[in-house]
Amino acid sequence: MVDGMAMTEDEQTRLRARTAGIVPFWAMAKTPALTGDRKDDFPALISAANVVAEEARLALHRWIEAARRSGMSWSEVGEVLGISKQAAQQRFRSPGDPGAEAAAAGGDDGIEHVRIGATAFNELAILEAEGRKGMELLRTGALHLVFRRTGQCWEYCRTLGRAPEGGWTHVSTWFPFHYYKRAIG
C-alpha cells in the first residue's frame, strides 16, 4: 500500500457504519418519520440513497483530481483503489489532468475521459466545449459524460423525442433525454 494512504480495517468499518447511517438518520428526522414500513416511504428513501451515492462518487473523483494535482501517480492511485494504473486512468482521468496535454496532440489517446458534474442545465454547454476540443461523446450517466479524444471536432444534440435529421448518430439515452453526435469540420 502507498505510504500514508492505507486505512485500517477498524477505520473502514467505522466509516462504512457512518455512511450507511446517513439515509436512516435523515429518514427518522423527517416528520412523519420514514420507517420503511410503508410502500410510500420507499421513493423518498431510494432518492436519498441515490443522492448519497452520487455525492460519494463525486467526492472520489474530486479527491483523485486533487491527488493528481499534488503529484500522485496513476500507479499510486490504482494501488490505493486496488485496480491497475490503466484502470485508474480510464475511470478517473479528466481533460485537465496533468499529462492530458500530451494526449491532446491529436488522435484517440485510448483513454476514456469522465466529465463529472453534468446536469440537465449545464451539459449542453459542456458538450459544446468538449466537442470543439475534439472530444467524442461515448456515453452518458448520472451527473457525468464520458468522452474520448479524437482528431476531429464534434457537434452534439439532446432531444426528448425522435431523432434529429441530418447525419446524427445516437450515442446514449439517459431518461428522459436522447443524445446524438456528428463529426464536423
- pLDDT, average across residues 23-51: 88
Identify the pLDDT of residue 107. Answer: 54
DSSP the chain: --TTTPPPHHHHHHHHHHHHTHHHHHHHHSSS---SSSGGGHHHHHHHHHHHHHHHHHHHHHHHHHHHHTT--HHHHHHHHTS-HHHHHHHH--TTSTTHHHHTTSS--S-EEEEE---TTTHHHHHHHHHHTTEEEEEEETTEEEEEE-SSEEEEEEESSSPPSSS-EEEEEETTEEEEEEEE-
Q: Residue 115 in contact with residue 144, Cβ under 8 Å?
A: yes
Per-residue pLDDT reduced to its tens digit, 87-135: 888 888 765 554 544 444 445 556 888 888 888 889 999 999 999 999 9
pTM of the model: 0.51
pLDDT at 11 over 70: yes
Per-residue pLDDT reduced to its tens digit, 137-178: 999 988 889 999 988 999 999 998 778 888 899 998 887 889
Domain residues of the chain, as ranges? 1-92, 105-185
Identify the pLDDT of residue 117. Answer: 86
